[in-house]
Amino acid sequence: MKTPCDLSELDAFAAVARHHSFRKAADERGVSASALSHAMRALEGRLGVRLLNRTTRSVTPTEAGNQLLATLVPALAEIAKGLHELTFKQEVPTGTLAPFTAAYPRVNVELVADDGLSDIIDKGFDAGVRFGESLAGDMIAVPVGSPQGFVTVAAPGYLRRHGTPDTPQRLLEHACIGRRFPSGKLYKWEYRAEGQPMRLAVAGPLILEDDTLMIQAAKDGAGIAYVYEEMARDYMAQGQLEEILEDWKALPSRFFIYYSSRRHVPPALQALIEFVRETQHP
């Protein structure tokens, strides 16, 4: 069984092919040429095909390499565009936190995004935000926002070529876009069967950490993705993505802001908790 390759390896291959040189591509990426050459040989080994012709003077893509580039280059361009747009949007403060900082100008708020399920006590944080099922029993939790559901989606073209799985187990026959946590653990997709929760370890040629990238890859026909429904809704409405396994969907989960019950709550955190409670929709 071939080991999936990640996006950074594919981007590195595209850089080598663009420069026709390991040295120039390595300089661009801030690594050594030998390390990059080794990474490309490892990639070829996992794919089971030679991607690059190497000589003492230049490096050129093979026929298989050019075939991969034809799909890879536009996909990487779309991903870069999506990340740029996402970064631009994040420059404008929105949501509940901005009104809170306006109402409490003397409170300094620092946010750290971390999907690794860190211990907030050990890391020195006052509070954290998680899905309810991930909370420890000794934490005090206050709901934030509306329940969030996940959907299983794929491009219509992918489903025409490969068929539509009618049960979660049939996903094992398909190219699934995996999700890896910062801890290194792969996320198991969640469903419900006869009212009982089930989790499925899927496999595929692409593993990512970000829903925006997963959605883009699914739209490009790379495989089936499991993403936040809110983020995929517009693409489903436009026909770019199609939801599958609707009858097997897991129940929506809700985010909570949580903090330790074992220590005194700082006044600033208490103000934030009360602000969250007051701004929640009934």
How many Cα neighbours within 13 Å face the side chain of 63?
0
Name, in order, each residue with C-beta under 8 angstroms of 144's C-beta and a sequence gap of 6 or more.
Answer: 96, 129, 254, 255, 256, 257, 276, 280
pTM tops 0.75 = no
CA-to-CA distance for 22 and 32, rounded, in angstroms? 9
> Residue length, the chain?
282
* Phi, psi dihedrals of residue 47, rounded to the nearest 5°: -80, -20
Instruction: Say if residues 126 and 273 touch (Cβ distance below 8 Å).
Output: no
Q: Taken in order 212, 152, 183, 72, is the CA torsion positive or negative?
A: negative
Single-letter amino acid code for the residue at 14: A
Residue with tokens 């870069």: 80
The predicted pLDDT at position 79 comes to 67
CA-to-CA distance for 116 and 161, rounded, in angstroms? 36
3-state secondary structure of 162: helix
CA-to-CA distance for 279 and 225, rounded, in angstroms? 33
Give the pair of three-digit tokens for residue 169: 């187990």
Residue with tokens 């399920």: 117
Give the pair of three-digit tokens for residue 50: 């030679």
* Phi, psi dihedrals of residue 179, rounded to the nearest 5°: -120, 120
pLDDT tens string for the chain (282 positions)? 445 556 677 878 888 888 888 888 887 766 778 888 888 888 888 888 899 998 877 789 899 888 888 877 777 766 666 655 554 444 444 455 666 666 666 666 666 556 555 565 656 667 767 665 556 666 777 777 677 789 999 999 999 999 999 999 999 999 999 988 766 778 899 999 888 889 999 988 888 888 888 999 999 898 999 998 989 999 999 999 999 999 999 888 777 777 776 566 777 777 777 777 776 655
Instruction: Say if residues 36 and 51 touch (Cβ distance below 8 Å).
Output: no
Instruction: Say if residues 247 and 100 touch (Cβ distance below 8 Å).
Output: no
Among 266, 257, 276, 250, smallest CA distance to 135 is for: 257
